[in-house]
Chains A and B, each alone.
Chain A
Amino acid sequence: MSRVPALLALVAALALPACDDDPVVNAPSRLMTVELHEESRQSLMRAQPAGVHSWSGRENDTVAVQMTAPVEARASVTAVETIDGDSPDEIAIFLDGAGQLGDFGTTVNSLSLFDEPVLPSTYDVLIAPDALLGKHAARLITPVTLSDDVPPDDRLLWDLQPVEEVLGKVATYATNQPVAGAVVTFYRASEPRLPVGVTTVTDADGEFFAELPEGRYDIVLAGPGDGSVPIPPVRLLDQQLPLFQGAALRLEVPVVPTRPVRGSLVRAGSETPVAGRVRIEGQLTDLLPGGTGIAMGRYRAEFETEADGSWEAELPLGAFTATGIPRYAASTQTLGIGTLDFEVPFGVPSVEGLDVTMPPTVSARIEAYNPGGSPMVGATLVLRMKSAPRYSWRRVTGASGEVTGAFVGLVIEDEYDIELIPPPDEDGQTRIARVQTEATFAGPGTVLRIEARRSDRFQGVVFTEGQQEVGDVHVLLRDPETGELWDTAVSRDSDTFTGVFEAVVPR
């Protein structure tokens, strides 16, 4: 069934009372933000913020939510081979700029054509050979407006720029020793947070080779992420590349001696070793009197411990913090995140015994209440840590004894986003809106009380600009001021009542 008459009939039928019904006007009006997510059966960009909508509070008033029609974006991507004639295995296209829901990536087809339905908007377009993971330089085009003003036969031309050979050598400052195994990455000077996508590694002579379009670049030198080559990170700013007549670029890093550092992750109290991840961050020490004048970035490395919890790293001289991150285990999570500050000084051959103590998790009690104050049994509590590693899990409030309407258990000390999802009623219908709150669990015995608000159930309908109702759309309703999620629903996909959804909003 469709189109304009059918939609109007549907909306009218939902909006107006039947002839033998009394008008129902009994709740305050509400505003809500609606997001729509359509399964991929039609177009990938039917995931969109559909704006703020109002509901009058009358039971029979239907909220009509219109989906924005996508436009066909068409572009031809011209790739550039490397000097050796290699082509990228793939070319990824990333679009940013229409808000998180509109952001997406794809790959061009075998004919290097980009054909995608997208939300009409203005985007930053990143053309990324090898998805930034190889040796081909990406190109950022901004802004690109994709709208239905473009004639359907026209195709945008997105080309990659010709590349030139860039040679370089990394050596130590003053002592001129080659630095092997350094990771070299490039950023356009005008886009200092977005890597070009060309990564190379120095050989035994400290030399590297890359291919880049002519331009100005920031060059970052660092050791691999696992800390296996402990060199000071250095960022060389705003270099014109390639150099005149193919001259080799020379990059210098300060000499910072290293020392072996050994430690373990251990369980607080028992000192039992435990396996996990270790994150090292710190500031290195420039030993040269007066300094080298080379600005060193903060040192970072991250690695897994051995199975027995021990870890060993070669670290430059400096002051560091080691963070021990326990592996996730929801049902038996007994450890929190531990940190240890330490120094690697000049006058010692090694640093030993760095035990990062992992504190125990702490007891917490979260009580859920219905509107009016009675315990909410069978409610779902979703807990999300607000700090890295941001573990998330769920618990259900108990039905008897001390845990009636409550969760009692262990949590890692941290700040949390907590979501209360009320249980459905006997008919499987949700009658109470979700509640989201924040809490800090620090130390044992924290008690958190969450009370749901009285809520109202309403009906809505999802339709397109062509007045066609759309079923099977995931509808998310949020507080327009805080973004708090109130409820979710899926629009019906049936011969009658297609596009209709039912949901709750709090008073």
Chain B
Amino acid sequence: MVIAAVLPGCLWIPGIFKEKADPPAPQPDTRAISHCRPHAGRPMLLGSQTGERIFGCRVANPPDADWRLSFPETVDPRLTRPAVDGFLFAEGVEAIRLDRDDLPWSPHPYEAILELDVPDDGESREWRIIVIPHVDDMWPLPDPGSEG
């Protein structure tokens, strides 16, 4: 049971002040990649209501971080893949902004895999991104906020 007594101008709590006076130094975080936002490994939409998304993680050694995009085979073989695989577009950063305009154009939804790779530590994370077509670029549509 914690017993606390407030004295004029200060607080006494058994066992607490000693730690407060000499707080332990935080242990170095040895994880190469952690705390990814949004959580890695889950599908994300890019381009329906949000044309731009931020992807980021806590990276222990940011200079080693590479960000690449790749494009899986299409479900329907009659549809073409949008681009060559594995193009690098950022390095040395913990977070990137990805706008659908940065990605290849396609008239249909397609899948892109965003990969954060820290090669020296053998760690990587992937996000599966479903890219929505840029229909506004082809036919300007009314601003949904202007209706009514």
Binding site for B on A (CB under 8 A): 5-6, 9-10, 12-14, 16-19, 21, 23, 37-40, 44, 47, 92, 94, 96, 100-101, 103-107, 124, 126, 128, 130-135, 181, 183, 185, 187, 192-195, 197, 199-201, 220, 222-226, 228, 233, 235, 277, 279, 281, 295, 297-298, 300-302, 304, 327-328, 330, 380, 382, 384, 388-394, 473-474, 488, 490, 492, 494, 496-497, 500
With a CB–CB cut-off of 8 A, which chain B residues contact A14? 20
- Show 13 A/B contacts (Cβ-Cβ < 8 Å), sorted by A: A13-B11, A19-B17, A94-B43, A193-B49, A222-B107, A224-B106, A225-B80, A297-B139, A384-B97, A388-B99, A390-B102, A474-B37, A496-B19
Q: How many A-B residue pairs have CB under 8 A?
A: 240
Pick from B97, B101, B107, B141 the residue with the most CB of A within 10 Å.
B107
Cα A200 to Cα B24 with chains together (Å) = 62
Binding site for A on B (CB under 8 A): 1-2, 4, 7, 9-13, 16-17, 19-21, 23-24, 26-27, 29, 34-39, 42-45, 48-50, 53-54, 58, 62-63, 67, 74-76, 78-80, 82-84, 87-93, 96-99, 101-102, 104-111, 128, 130, 132-139, 141
Cα A300 to Cα B2 with chains together (Å) = 69
Evaluate whether A225 and B102 lie within 8 angstroms (CB atoms) in the complex, with A199-B76, A201-B79, A328-B89 already known.
no
With a CB–CB cut-off of 8 A, which chain B residues contact A220? 107, 133, 135, 138
**Cβ contact within 8 Å between A394 and B109:** no
**Cβ contact within 8 Å between B39 and A40:** yes
Closest to B138 in A: A297
A245 → chain B closest CB, angstroms: 28
**Cβ contact within 8 Å between A10 and B16:** yes
**Cβ contact within 8 Å between B10 and A47:** no
With a CB–CB cut-off of 8 A, which chain A residues contact B133? 185, 195, 220
**Cβ contact within 8 Å between B108 and A126:** no
Cα A63 to Cα B62 with chains together (Å) = 28
Closest to B28 in A: A428
Cα A233 to Cα B107 with chains together (Å) = 9
**Cβ contact within 8 Å between B12 and A225:** no
Cα A488 to Cα B57 with chains together (Å) = 11
**Cβ contact within 8 Å between B108 and A195:** yes
With a CB–CB cut-off of 8 A, which chain A residues contact B2? 5-6, 9
**Cβ contact within 8 Å between A192 and B141:** yes
Please tell me which one of the listed residues B39, B49, B97, B130 contacts residue A96 in the complex, with CB atoms under 8 A apart: B49
Pick from A44, A124, A193, A391 the residue with the most CB of B within 10 Å.
A193
Please tell me which one of the listed residues B11, B24, B49, B88 contacts residue A497 in the complex, with CB atoms under 8 A apart: B24
Evaluate whether A193 and B141 lie within 8 angstroms (CB atoms) in the complex, with A12-B13, A103-B38, A393-B92 already known.
yes
